[in-house]
Amino acid sequence: QLHLQESGPGRVKPSETLSLTCSVSGGSINIMNYYWVWIRQSPGKGLEWIASVYYSGSAYYNSSLKSRVTISIDTSKNQFSLNLMSMTAADTAIYYCAREWGEGTGWFLDTWGHGLLITVSS
Amino acid sequence: SSELTQGPAVSVALGQTVRITCQGDSLRTYFASWYQQKPGQAPVLVMYSRNSRPSGIPDRFSGATSGNTASLTITGAQAEDEGDYYCNYRDSFGNHVFGSGTMVAVL
């Protein structure tokens, strides 16, 4: 059974860069037809997609965050990562990693990590 | 518009039927998926590609799409169905859009 686990600092200071890693176990990340995704949820709010990456390294970004975000994949370690620069209090959220699968006009997020709360505070 | 609109909350009596809707022009083109989120937990996929349920999701959950509206119906709601439900689609550019979520209370 596929398992995703987020790891990261838990707390960052304003203006710093957040670096998160999602470790994938129970299956390979180096496989066609799956994307690997970061999503976040501010306290008491809804879900916000951040970015997606394919095993080849090609990536999609939320236009509202694109200038600050980099997503990458390391197939040798079976993990993918997120960097979010210039953090502010508005970036305080639970960050989830997930697997995306589908085809054509139907794609969905079938496996999620438990999430990691990231607090921006000095 | 790429946005998805969901009602904020709905309640249902135990054992009764509740329908949650999600509206957006993009749903005329892309299939919606639905996610259940309970307090303190990660979202869980409960419906995809109009009316497909992942393994382990009870068959009291069903999905449909008509025009620009996707719906998720729970027939015979149980106490464990309480939670927030989010609709979502992914466009051809790889962008994901989520609805604002609907809170379901089972009375």
| Sign of the alpha-carbon torsion through B107, B61, B64, A105 | positive
What pLDDT does A82 receive? 98
Question: Is the Cβ pair B49, A62 closer than 8 Å?
Answer: no
Q: Which of A47, A113, A114 sits opposite B86 (nearest CB)?
A: A47
Among the listed residues A37, A31, A21, the one whose alpha carbon sits nearest the alpha carbon of residue A75 = A31
Length of chain A measured in residues: 122
CB-defined contacts A:B, below 8 A: 68
SS3 track for chain B:
CCCCEECCEEEECCCCEEEEEEECHHHHCCCCEEEEECCCCCCEEEEECCCECCCCCCCCEEEEEECCEEEEEEECCCHHHCEEEEEEEECCCCCEEECCCEEEEEC
Are A109 and B101 an interchain contact pair (Cβ–Cβ within 8 Å)?
Answer: no
Percent share of chain B, pLDDT over 90: 95
Count of Cβ atoms closer than 10 Å to residue A24 Cβ: 24
Average pLDDT, integer, range B21-42:
97
Q: Provide the shortest C-alpha distance from residue A117 to chain B (in Å).
A: 11
pLDDT for position B97: 97
Determine the pLDDT at residue B50: 75
Q: Cβ separation of B45 and A96 shorter than 8 Å?
A: no
- In this structure, the number of other CB atoms found within 10 A of the CB of residue A103 comes to 8
Kindly list the residues from chain A whose CB atom is less than 8 angstroms away from the CB atom of residue B94.
35, 52, 60
Give the helix, strand, coil percentages of chain B, each rounded to 5.
5, 50, 45
Residue B2: band (very low, low, confident or very high) from pLDDT cuts 50, 70, 90: confident
Nearest to B38 by CA among B82, B73, B102, B98: B82
Indicate yes or no: CB of A105 within 8 angstroms of CB of B44.
no
Token pair for B2: 């790429």
Q: How far is A7 from chain B (nearest CA, A)?
A: 15
Q: What is the pLDDT of residues A72-100, one digit of tens each?
A: 999 999 999 999 999 999 999 999 999 99
Nearest residue on chain A to B91, alpha-carbon basis: A105
Alpha-carbon distance of A52 to B104, in angstroms, equals 29
For A70, counting Cβ atoms within 10 Å of its Cβ (0-12 exposed, 13-18 middle, 19+ buried), the class is middle
Residue A104 has pLDDT above 90, yes or no: no
pLDDT at B58: 97
B36-46 mean pLDDT: 97
A76 secondary structure, DSSP code: T
- Encode pLDDT of A21-71 as tens digits: 999 999 999 999 899 999 999 999 999 999 999 999 999 999 999 999 999
Question: What does the pLDDT read at residue B1?
Answer: 61
Amino acid at A32: M
Neighbours of A75 (CB within 10 A): 15
Question: Residue A38 carries which side chain, given as an amino acid letter?
Answer: W
Residue B67 has pLDDT above 90, yes or no: yes
